Structure 1
Amino acid sequence: MTAFNPPTGVLLGTYTPGTPEWEKARAGLCITATEIAAVLGLSPWASPFSLWHKKAGLPTPPFESNPAVEWGNRLEEAVAQKWLDEHEGYGLESTGTWRHRDREWQRATPDRIAFTGRGTVTELLEVKTSPFGDEWGPAGSDELPIYYRCQVQWQLDTLGLDLCHVALLVSGHDYREYVIEYDADDAKVMRDAAQEFLDTVRRGERPPIDGADATYQTIRVQPDGLEDVDVEIPLEDAARYEIAQQQHKATGDELTAAKGILLDHIGTGKRAVVGERRVAYRTVRDGKTYSLSPYTSKDVHA
């Protein structure tokens, strides 16, 4: 293996994902690159509430794989090889789990290290797969979904490196590359947020309950057993629940109608736009509409 001594990285070990050793390296009062977006409330898979329970050693829902995760893992080596084919003079190697030299709680597990023919390592490579590319910018840019940008910046800050390449495969055939440079200001914002988050775990100050599904699923796994008893709850919380139930049905009907109107406008097109602003996009399977999805950023332009 190429000698790799990043400026601020300390290697904890090389672990197989999902093994007890891998889980141990990520457990306890530390923040990994895949967790920092949750700290900031920017992750689509976890919330500050769910991550807080994990770090506090409280019950959390078990990880459940799915076809997207499975095929992402299966295709990782192929996508990495494609990047290598496009970059003469570079080599790639898998690496392990690292912590920051001075901040033991800051950890990262990059996909690959990228080195030159002389064995000099200054860059990282992250490999991603996605069924859709609408959240990603054009190839050659630095426009990533915000949660992946957080991940990459955390990795660079942990190891003390300045550059990360991102290789993306969309829908199994659309290959794109991105280059992300280290941003010291963003890194400081993330470090400060991570330290404050870990302090709330130490103080036992649970984050507020939000509307994320990860939060609800975490609450679901907290009670153990069932007691046939009545529990008095605040009137305002009861009213909020009952009103939300009523609004949910009304909103569901309205959303269905609104989606139908947009699909009728789009016809055989792909995107619904107002001027230069993208509103929603249509995906198709077997020639028929599979879904209509909103653009997540208000500033996405055609």
Structure 2
Amino acid sequence: MSITAQAGATTAPAAGPTVLGWFEPGTDAWHAARANGIGGSEIAAVVGLSPYESRFSLWHRKKGVIGPVEESEEMYWGKEHEPAICRRFAREHPEWFVRGAFTYAHPDRPWQIANPDRNLWPTDSHIDDRIPAAVLEAKTARDDTGWGKDGSDDIPVHYRSQALWYMDVTGARRAFVAVLIAGSEYREYTVDFDEAEAQLLRDAGARFMDDLARGNRPDIDGHSATYQAIREIPDGLDPVDVEIGTALRDRFYAAQDAAWAAEDELTACKGELLDAIGTGQRAVCERQRIATRTVRDGSTYSLMPARTRRNAR
């Protein structure tokens, strides 16, 4: 999936990006280096494409109102698998030098931060620590939902945003994304720099930083990260009644009624679907996976949909 925008002037850093240092991901120093800017894993939230973070929650993290994102099991294992995935890429591509990368900032936009997993240079060229020829990102995924044909540029859009952000900062004009799917399937994807898409991300990033500086809080949306952020913001509990408007009351009642009705309908659909597939593992329609059934102690344990909120947005 592409990110479309009006094309602007190319702003690749001619002299290379500013090197902020080398930091272990997730450490206090790593968070501090990114605190006053937007990193590659954050830009998707700024443009409303992240399944993990919303513009609202990111704004409050940058303001220091809520803490950093806590490391999930998915994040932990992604970090653990990263070196192995990068080694596999290096073995598959002897034409590239594969080296660790620093944390960088764009020389003209110091709030634009990049922390690629690896930098790449052709083996027949000179290695310049500041300006890589390409960057490499290592990912893990539970299944291939959102991932297209091996060798294409068809990757989840939030990862595409990250790759474009890193290229824009470092001056690289190609990004490789290597992914380990379900713990055993290795695939590679190639994303080439697109000036129009990069311009959209830059402009959105600049507006976000301006909103931070001016204290313009983003609107509340339906992202789960927004709700979680709102839950974290209040400190303490005052045993008082707070009067709200009738419009908000009616909207809440209507949404609650709709959610209950949808829950009943979903339960009925899941029952019919399980009944239809019997002892099968997966439900498919026109060769498209619909849901996967898991079993424990001989009985169905869960029915996981292939189409989630993440890929339905």
Whether TM-score is above 0.5 comes out as yes
Q: Given the alignment of the two structures, is residue 281 of structure 1 paired with residue 287 of structure 2, yes or no?
A: no
Aligned counterpart for 2:62 among listed residues 35, 41, 55: 55
Aligned counterpart for 1:124 among listed residues 132, 135, 138: 135
Q: Given the alignment of the two structures, is residue 24 of structure 1 paired with residue 24 of structure 2, yes or no?
A: no
- Looking at structure 2, the residues matched to 146 and 227 of structure 1 have their Cα atoms a distance apart, in angstroms, of 42
Q: Given the alignment of the two structures, is residue 65 of structure 1 paired with residue 71 of structure 2, yes or no?
A: yes
State the Cα distance separating 1:202 from its structure 2 match.
1.9
State the Cα distance separating 1:285 from its structure 2 match.
5.4
Aligned counterpart for 1:201 among listed residues 191, 201, 212: 212
- Looking at structure 1, the residues matched to 295 and 97 of structure 2 have their Cα atoms a distance apart, in angstroms, of 38
Distance 1:160 1:241, change over 3 A: same
Match of 2:171 in 1: 160
Asked if the contact 1:7/1:161 (under 8 Å) is kept, the reply is no
- Looking at structure 1, the residues matched to 241 and 301 of structure 2 have their Cα atoms a distance apart, in angstroms, of 47
Match of 1:239 in 2: 250
Equivalent runs, 1:96-175 vs 2, <5 Å: 96-117=102-123, 118-120=125-127, 121-175=132-186
Q: Secondary structure at the match of 1:178?
A: strand
CA deviation string 1:3-43 (max 9, x = no partner): xx985411111011232221111102x11111000001110
Aligned counterpart for 2:21 among listed residues 13, 30, 41: 13
Aligned counterpart for 1:35 among listed residues 21, 38, 42: 42
Match of 1:290 in 2: 302
Give, as a single letter, the amino acid of the residue that structure 2 aligns with 1:180. V
Distance 1:111 1:285, change over 3 A: farther
Asked if the contact 1:10/1:99 (under 8 Å) is kept, the reply is yes
Give, as a single letter, the amino acid of the residue that structure 2 aligns with 1:16. E
- Looking at structure 2, the residues matched to 264 and 100 of structure 1 have their Cα atoms a distance apart, in angstroms, of 56
Distance 1:285 1:149, change over 3 A: farther
- Looking at structure 2, the residues matched to 198 and 232 of structure 1 have their Cα atoms a distance apart, in angstroms, of 34
State the Cα distance separating 1:189 from its structure 2 match.
0.7
State the Cα distance separating 1:298 from its structure 2 match.
6.7
Aligned length: 291
- Looking at structure 2, the residues matched to 101 and 58 of structure 1 have their Cα atoms a distance apart, in angstroms, of 28
**TM-score normalized by structure 2?**
0.86
Equivalent runs, 1:236-275 vs 2, <5 Å: 236-267=247-278, 268=280, 270-273=282-285, 275=286
Aligned counterpart for 1:87 among listed residues 90, 93, 96: 93
Asked if the contact 2:282/2:289 (under 8 Å) is kept, the reply is no
Q: Secondary structure at the match of 1:214?
A: helix
Asked if the contact 2:292/2:306 (under 8 Å) is kept, the reply is no
RMSD: 2.2
Q: Secondary structure at the match of 2:133?
A: strand
Q: Which moved more, 1:194-203 or 1:154-163?
A: 194-203
User: Where do 5+ consecutive residues of structure 2 fail to align?
Assistant: 1-12
Asked if the contact 1:6/1:159 (under 8 Å) is kept, the reply is no
Match of 2:6 in 1: none
Match of 1:216 in 2: 227
**TM-score normalized by structure 1?**
0.89
Match of 1:225 in 2: 236
State the Cα distance separating 1:265 from its structure 2 match.
3.7
